[in-house]
Structures are given as structure tokens and as C-alpha cells.
Structure 1
Amino acid sequence: MTAATSPFEADFDLITEQIRRHAQAAPQRRALVDPQHTLGYGELDALMDRVAASLQRDGLRPGDAIGICAASSTLYAAVFLGALRAGVVVAPLAPGVLPAAFANMLRDAGAKRLFVDASVAATTGPLADGGVPRIALDGSEAGQALQSWLAPEGARPQPVSPEPAWPFNIIYSSGTTGEPKGIVQGHGMRWSHVKRGRNYGYGEDTVALLSTPLYSNTTLVVFFPSLAWGGTVVLMPKFDAARYLQIAETERMTHTMLVPVQYQRLMARPDFDRHNLSATRVKFSTSAPFNAALKADVLKRWPGGLVEFYGMTEGGGTCILEAHAHPTKLHTVGRPSEGHDIRVIDEAGRTLPVGEAGEVVGHSPGMMTGYHNRPEQTRAVEWFDETGKRFIRTGDVGRFDEDGFLTLVDRKKDMIISGGFNLYPSDLEAVLREHPAVAEASVIGVPSEQWGETPVAYVVLREGQDLAADALREWVNERVGKTQRLSDLRLVGELPRSAIGKVLKRELRDLYVARPAG
């Protein structure tokens, strides 16, 4: 740590050392809470030491990796943090992926130990784990019991001092495809998220309620700052809107991270306004498009600030929209964070002026080292300006306005080219959401002999609404340009989503190809 008046002013410090300082100052203060357990800072610090010492006993050295695949819990978090104290890299893996994809991720990470629970035992079975020794966090038969694996109480690891460039974790962004890509994030990147916390009221009185999974970067960008600043993290293994509101009220929640579909489900509850959420300081969101009308509703009915982060797990720049401070910019994802260079480029790699749409690229102090063991894919997402400065391609299409706010048009890969015209699904989805019967909508491009591609919509109606698909399609087509007209519209009970709320458009395309119109 460089000399500074506060650890949070330092260019770099260790999150694990911050936790130790809190343990020394206030060992009884709650650090981690789940439905079954509560760990104070003193208990957490001691457990982290035992985890680190156990890994060292097993021969793991700084730079080696472990995998964790389990529901969010205090023990999951303690193992993650304890591994970091030993300089070991953590690969938090998504439950529910196909065994082959799981095996690929575990092999790619080079994990030397795998921590699991009974809920994912099938995914992490002998055929999928490649013989990696398994430790069961919950004492189940999924592996060796954690308590029998741990070094004795009072054990202390050999000191390790990670540097900013050392790998912190490997986040797998596409484990459902069978071709997982591991995004390597460094200790310096994570510390930059902690430092950003000074802007959002983190402190020893923080109570952060997290209902997204710990294998997701969405969760981790609030999880680590909350602990580094000495607050309490309350973990929900599975999101349930009614239970979330009960916990938020009882715990006097101050901070939370939710994806847009969770905000939608919370705000739609008839009893939402009866809950006392007045302790809320800041609500965060990221990972998926957050429509302006929903943001406005959150601002109107839920106390505290609303902050949207736009960026990638790969790093490469973040835009921040402090929605409470910029109510006329709710259609945007905000302005580049301090020290982040975000640009819009055309197909030839030329930087575009204000108002013109192109691919969004970004550079920041917190960028991934690269995709683990995938140098070619790493190079494919890099763009360099004329000075040699490195940027990460986002794959998003956007434009800046005159005030420096970025509006996203759509995902580049989701753009539909129909009859030579570029169509953006987000434009059509916005029109669909204007209909009072529509709760959710997703538009995809499907093959067309006449046009090359043609837009098709999948729609979820609001509860109690009865509307024919053809009638809704006609309503939309009367309000869009001729080239934008939907060729088909399907009503469904729900849209396929990832664990962090992203609509899985690939699944919708596959579904449509399997069951085309007519």
C-alpha cells in the first residue's frame, strides 16, 4: 500500500487486508449473513486464514486456481476470500451448465480444488470434474466435508502480498455455449471498484442485500466494496421478490444490486409501497438494458439514489448514470467514469463524432488481462487508437449526445439486416412496451428468403391481459416504418433469461427456427 491518509486513498491495497483491519477493530460486527449463518468480521478473518493455510498445505501456490460452484452462502464467500489471501485465483462457476461446458471451464482454469454443495452435485460429478478433489461447503456427500478439510482453528497461512497485476479471479462469460471464455481480472481492477465506493456512501454501517449469484461480476462489484469498507453483506441464495422486500425492510438495507428484470418484478408487486425502504442510500443496476420508464418508476417510489453501471466483465471502460441526478437522461447509460476513455468507432476503426452511431470501445485502469488461454480471442476484442492505446470492443452499438451521455442502440450481433436496411431490435422493443398489455418483449432476426433477415417478436403479456398475437403485431406495424414491420409475433409465458437477467436471444432464435411461422 502506498502512503496515504486512508487505505482507500491508496493507489492499491488488498481487500483481504481491509477485512483483517475491520476484524481487529470490530470483531463482532456482522460481515456476512445468509439464511442459515452469520459471520462477524473476527470469525470471517479467522476462517479466511484457515482456508488460506489449508490451500497452502495442499500445495497450492500464488497463481494456482480453485473452482467454486455452489449457491451463495457465507461459507462460499469465506472460501473465495481465503483463497485470495493465499494469492490463489478463484474461478466462480455457474451451476446448471451442461457437464461438458462445466468440465471445459474447470480444465481451462486449471483448478486444483473444487468447492461445491449438494445443489450442484450432478453438474460437478466425476464425469465433469476431471478428478479434481472436491470439498463440500454444506457437509453433504458432494465432496470431502469443509470442516474436515480445514486446517485447525488458529491456523495462520504464510504471508502473501499480491501485486495489482496478479490475477484475482477468472469469470466465465459464456458457460452455457460449450465454448466458455475465462475473463481474467486482476487485484488492481478489483481495488478500483473499492475506491469507487467513496462516491456511494459505503461504510461500516452499510447493509448490502445481494440476490444475484456470487459467480457473477454483477454481484461482485458491490460485494467486495461492501466488505472492504467494513459493511455487512446479506446474501440471498435465490431471488424472490416478496422475500427480498421483507429482508430489505427488516435489515434496514442501505445498498443493493439488482438487474432490471428484478426491479421490474419488485415494482410490479401490489404491496411494494407498503414496505419501509427509507434506509436505502443507493440502488445499483447493470448487466442488461434498463428501460427509461422503469427507471423513472424506481426513482419515484423507492427512496435513495439509483445508479446504473454500463460496462463489460472484461473491463475496458465504464459509463455511470446517476439517474437521481440526471432525470432527463434516463434513456442513456450515463457518462464515462473518471479516468475511463469511451469512444464510438465505425467499421473501419475510425472514431465517430457526437451523434453518430457505431461500436462502443473503452479503455480504463481496470481492464482484463485477457481471455484465459485464448490469445486469439483476446486480440479479436482489442482495438488500438493511433497512439497504440489499448481498448476493449464491447460489441454494442451506441452514440454520444452533446452532453457526453451514451445512448445504446443495440448489440452489434443482434442488429437485423433486412432488405439492406439495418434494424435495431431495441427500437421495436420500445414500441412494444408502449402497449398497456405488454409486460416484456424481445425482438430477434430470423432467416428470410425474401429479405435475408426479418424481425420477429416474443412477448409476455401483463397478468390478466388477453390480447391476440396478430392484433398486437398489427398495432406495432402501424407505428413503425415499413422496413421495421414485424413478420411474426409470439406470445409466451416468460422469456428465457440467464441467472443475471439477460434475455437469451440465441434460445429464442433456436426456438423459432424449430417452430417457424405457419
Structure 2
Amino acid sequence: MSDFQAAMDRDFGVIADLVRWHAHASPERPALVDPTRTLAYGDLDALMDRVAASLQRDSLRAGDAIAICAASSVNYAALFLGALRAGVAVAPLAPGSTPASLARMIEDAEARMLFLDAAAAEAIGPPADGAIPRVALDGSRAGLALEAWLAPAGSQPAAVAPQPAWPFNIIYSSGTTGEPKGIVQGHGMRWAHVRRGAKYGYGPETVTLLSTPLYSNTTLVVFFPTIAFGGCVILMPKFDAAGYLALAERHRVTHTMLVPVQYQRLMAHPDFDRHDLSSFRFKFSTSAPFGAALKADVLKRWPGGLIEFYGMTEGGGTCILEAHLHPDKLHTVGQPAEGSDIRLIDEAGREVARGEAGEVVGHSAGMMTGYHHQPEKTREAEWFDPTGKRFIRTGDVGRFDEEGFLTLFDRKKDMIISGGFNIYPSDLEAVLRSHAAVAEAAVVGAPSEQWGETPVAFVVRRAGNDTSGEALLQWANAQLGKTQRLARLHLIDELPRSAIGKVLKRELREFDAR
């Protein structure tokens, strides 16, 4: 058994140590690639040492935090990994957040330093008096140049031995508006994500293409296993379908993580079938509802397995759908992963009977420590079974079928209660999407004096289609049950989405209220 395999068999290990192992075994093997440079494992390991030594020089200790707010790049990835080598937690922030939200997140994380690029600096604004030091990752004037900040080549940090409960990163769940919640994920949680990598073919020959941002847990659940197993990560700072397909073919990509809207745009690209994608072994998806018809199209036209992960950034359990093995279960999000205890509870917090719908809660080795500095929010996110076992509440409503596959209906907070009836927006959206004129659809609840709430639809028509909103409204209401009928239907050019493809229903509600 190799030293590497022995490390992977342990209940806990350190990702930064695995980078060191790969650097010694294959120093010239590519580790990170962005549009401007390629970094081999030997050079990555040395750069991580310089980052860790620089943080220690600047008096950061294990358990302290830094913030990174920038587009994905080799420097970003190496900085993240180097901070981990020093035991320093990373708070990766979304550059698209408002200046006020970014300021709150940096303060909440108690970040000692801010690493950013020019675009993020513009979003954040100039530093105030007494602000934490800024370092520019892109050679801009956003802060001190990275090369100027780094300790000299060959610098060695003091050895640090991270423990499972130490904070690995702090991911913020609501950075666009509202009070951000910092999800503290420990080293033990990340190690659990890495260990399952062998099942999905990660290894030294892996080439993973990532076009979702590094501040998203969606990206990190694939990024870290690729690096831990000695593969190469291709970083695409901004997604576009044509560019993605070109990179995938050129680099003979084997693995990728995409959110459903990206799959949709790729499959609709007129040149999709002209590209050689035969190198793909596994494609992953998470973060947003993934329609069964779209999954079927991916399986039909894109080589390699298709895996859907269902879970929370907060952790607490995962369901996995190996779509290529279960083509009759594409309407589900799969079965609980090994080591995941997934249950359904009612409004009173009691487990529901088999076959009934309820809120999804989960327990596993990969669970957040809690929301940073928000113990009340942490308690709201927890559920304990009668034995005291801790679960994380998802806020999603679902039902298990007889074979243990989980079908999701909707977010609990998105469920519409109209005249005392529960209405699941996903049911109405599915009806709308079945119309030949409809490319995308979203349904939200709007206040109603008569019914309490009433459903309102937002529709994006297919290119070149001129079906009127009124015609679509009448057609949809003819298909829907009496309690489900739509009060209004808005035609819009595109649905508002987060950087990882989630429809921002709050913005739709605000639009309807104008």
C-alpha cells in the first residue's frame, strides 16, 4: 500500500499534506491552469509554503481567518491552499455582493487580511482608515502586489497540524442582500468530501474543468478532491458555453461540476454535438433543481456518468443520484449517500410515516460547526432526534419512494399556502415548461386578500416565439387544478439567478409587487 493510499484510508487527513506528497512524487505534473498560466505540483507546493510563511510572518495563527474576494485564478487557488497549510481559515466572498454585505462579511469573519482583484476592489470601494491590509492577486492597484507580499522563494513555514474541528473555511450563504450567515466548515468536513473521491474516479489522470466560482461550495466539493488525488484543475473565471466546450475538448477533460442552468445552455448550444467530449468520465451537478428531461438529454448526448448531489453547504447529509445507472429515477435526487442519515419531519418536528412528505433533515460526518457568531441561527438550523442525534434542517420538502429515492417538491419557504391549500411552485413550473413556447419558468407566492397567497408566474419564451402572456396564462390555468391557478403571468427576458444558477425568487416577488 502506498503512503498516499494509507493517508486516504485514515478517518482524518490534511489536504495540504497530500499536495506535498504529489509534489514530491510528480513535481512536473500540472495542478492548476487558468487563462494566463499553468502551475505544476512542485511549484504549487513551494507557493503554498510561501503563502503560509507570509501569513505567519504577519502574525496570523491557526484559527485566524483571511478573506478572498476575486475571480477564480491560479493565484486564488494557491492562496487558499497555502492558508490551509498555516491552519488559517479562508472566507471566500462573492464579488457580486453589495459593498455593505461585503463589509459585514469581512467583519463577521474577523478576517485579518483581504485578498482581492481589481473588479472586487471596485465593488468593495476604497479602504477606510484602519482597514485590514489588502493584497492584489491580479497585479492591479487593488492592494499590495501578491509577489511583493510573499515571503522569499524557498521560505518554509512553521509546521502546523490541523485538527478535524478547526475551521477550514467560512462560506456565506446570503451575500447579496440581508444579513449574511457564515457557514463554518471544519477540516474534518472537507476530509469527508475528499475521501469519497475514489468512488468517482479521481486520480493523477483527472482533468477537472470548473466554471463556477471558487467562493461557492458547489465548486469546492469538486476542486479539493481533484487536488487531493493529484489531478489537474482548469479554472474558467467566467462561464460561456462556447468557451467551455472548447476548453473541454482541448484539455481532454474528465470531470466537471456544472449547475443545471449551465447544462441547459451547453445542451442548447448549436455546436455542442460537433465537439469531442469522449474523454469525460463523470459530470456532477448540484445547487439547483435539475429537470428530468434535461438529465435525459445530457445522458443521451454527453459521454460519461452523470452524478447529482443533493445537500446543503451546511452539510448534514447528502443524497446522490447516479443518473446513468438509474435512468428511471431522473425525477429524484437519488438515495442517501453512505454515512448519511436522511429523514423527513413534520411541522411539529416529528418524523413522518413512510411515504409521507416532510422537511428533509440530515446527519453525516460532514456537518458545519455552526453559523459564525450566530448561535440562534445555528439552533434554528438544527433538529435532534429522540436520542439526541444532531441533524441539519434543509428547508426542503420531499418524499421517499419505496426504493428509498428522494423526490423534492420545493423549498419550505417557497411553498404557497392559498386558501388553506399547500401549492408547490415546482408543480406549476413543470406544467408551464411543458408548453412549446416556454424556455424557463418560475412561480412565486404573492399576497392576496382573498386567499392569503396566490401563485404568480414568470416566463422566458423560447427564441423567436411571440405567444402572448395572456395566452400562456389561460393555457396554464386550463391545465392546473382550481386551487393552483395563476393570478398573473409576467413575460421576462431572463430569470434572475445567483452566480451558481439559483433563481432569485425574492427579486421576482419584488418585481411583482411594483
TM-score bin, normalised by smaller chain: over 0.9
1:128 Cα deviation (Å)?
Answer: 7.1
What SS class does the counterpart of residue 343 from structure 1 fall into? Answer: strand
**Where does residue 433 of structure 2 map in the other structure?**
433
1:354 Cα deviation (Å)?
Answer: 2.2
Indicate how the Cα distance of structure 1 residues 189 and 130 shifts in structure 2: closer, same or farther if over 3 A, else same: farther
TM-score by length of 1: 0.98
TM-score by length of 2: 0.98
**Where does residue 212 of structure 1 map in the other structure?**
212
**Where does residue 377 of structure 1 map in the other structure?**
377
1: CA distance, partners of 2:125 / 2:474: 50
**Where does residue 386 of structure 2 map in the other structure?**
386
What SS class does the counterpart of residue 6 from structure 1 fall into? Answer: helix
Q: Is the counterpart of residue 277 in structure 1 residue 277 in structure 2?
A: yes
2: CA distance, partners of 1:4 / 1:202: 13
Unaligned runs of 5+ in 1: none
CA contact (8 A) 1:100 1:178 kept: no
CA contact (8 A) 2:27 2:42 kept: yes
1:65 Cα deviation (Å)?
Answer: 0.3
**Where does residue 89 of structure 2 map in the other structure?**
89
1: CA distance, partners of 2:288 / 2:125: 32
**Where does residue 293 of structure 2 map in the other structure?**
293
2: CA distance, partners of 1:362 / 1:334: 14
Q: Is the counterpart of residue 174 in structure 1 residue 174 in structure 2?
A: yes
**Where does residue 239 of structure 2 map in the other structure?**
239
2: CA distance, partners of 1:74 / 1:19: 15
Q: Is the counterpart of residue 257 in structure 1 residue 257 in structure 2?
A: yes
2: CA distance, partners of 1:354 / 1:264: 34
**Where does residue 18 of structure 1 map in the other structure?**
18
1:130 Cα deviation (Å)?
Answer: 6.3
1:475 Cα deviation (Å)?
Answer: 1.0
**Where does residue 60 of structure 1 map in the other structure?**
60
Question: Structure 1: which amino acid aligns with 2:33?
Answer: V
1:131 Cα deviation (Å)?
Answer: 0.3
Q: Deviations over 1:267-293 (max 9, x none)?
A: 001111111000000000000000100
**Where does residue 38 of structure 1 map in the other structure?**
38
Q: Deviations over 1:395-451 (max 9, x none)?
A: 000000010000001000000011111100000001011111111100000011111
**Where does residue 305 of structure 1 map in the other structure?**
305
Q: Is the counterpart of residue 47 in structure 1 residue 47 in structure 2?
A: yes
1:497 Cα deviation (Å)?
Answer: 0.2
**Where does residue 444 of structure 2 map in the other structure?**
444
Q: Deviations over 1:103-132 (max 9, x none)?
A: 100000000010001111122323579601
Unaligned runs of 5+ in 2: none
1: CA distance, partners of 2:102 / 2:359: 31
**Where does residue 224 of structure 2 map in the other structure?**
224
What SS class does the counterpart of residue 456 from structure 2 fall into? Answer: strand
2: CA distance, partners of 1:129 / 1:458: 45
1:350 Cα deviation (Å)?
Answer: 1.1
1:9 Cα deviation (Å)?
Answer: 1.2
1: CA distance, partners of 2:335 / 2:304: 20
CA contact (8 A) 2:437 2:467 kept: yes
CA contact (8 A) 1:99 1:128 kept: no
CA contact (8 A) 1:103 1:129 kept: no
**Where does residue 101 of structure 1 map in the other structure?**
101
Aligned length: 513
1: CA distance, partners of 2:422 / 2:130: 46
2: CA distance, partners of 1:170 / 1:422: 35
1: CA distance, partners of 2:48 / 2:401: 47
Report % sequence identity: 74
**Where does residue 162 of structure 1 map in the other structure?**
162
CA contact (8 A) 1:103 1:128 kept: no
Indicate how the Cα distance of structure 1 residues 376 and 139 shifts in structure 2: closer, same or farther if over 3 A, else same: same
**Where does residue 321 of structure 1 map in the other structure?**
321
Q: Which moved more, 1:127-136 or 1:414-423?
A: 127-136
**Where does residue 142 of structure 1 map in the other structure?**
142
1:178 Cα deviation (Å)?
Answer: 3.2
Indicate how the Cα distance of structure 1 residues 133 and 382 shifts in structure 2: closer, same or farther if over 3 A, else same: same
Indicate how the Cα distance of structure 1 residues 129 and 395 shifts in structure 2: closer, same or farther if over 3 A, else same: farther
1: CA distance, partners of 2:153 / 2:34: 22
What SS class does the counterpart of residue 264 from structure 1 fall into? Answer: helix
What SS class does the counterpart of residue 124 from structure 2 fall into? Answer: coil
Q: Which moved more, 1:126-135 or 1:381-390?
A: 126-135
CA contact (8 A) 1:69 1:120 kept: yes
1:6 Cα deviation (Å)?
Answer: 2.5
2: CA distance, partners of 1:187 / 1:359: 28
CA contact (8 A) 1:22 1:230 kept: yes
CA contact (8 A) 1:4 1:10 kept: no
**Where does residue 469 of structure 1 map in the other structure?**
469
What SS class does the counterpart of residue 135 from structure 2 fall into? Answer: strand
**Where does residue 132 of structure 2 map in the other structure?**
132
1: CA distance, partners of 2:359 / 2:334: 16
What SS class does the counterpart of residue 31 from structure 1 fall into? Answer: strand
Indicate how the Cα distance of structure 1 residues 41 and 129 shifts in structure 2: closer, same or farther if over 3 A, else same: farther
**How large is the Cα RMSD of the aligned pairs?**
1.2
1: CA distance, partners of 2:127 / 2:401: 52
The runs of at least 4 consecutive aligned structure 1 residues that moved more than 6 Å come to none
1: CA distance, partners of 2:465 / 2:308: 31
Question: Structure 1: which amino acid aligns with 2:147?
Answer: Q
2: CA distance, partners of 1:23 / 1:397: 45
**Where does residue 27 of structure 1 map in the other structure?**
27
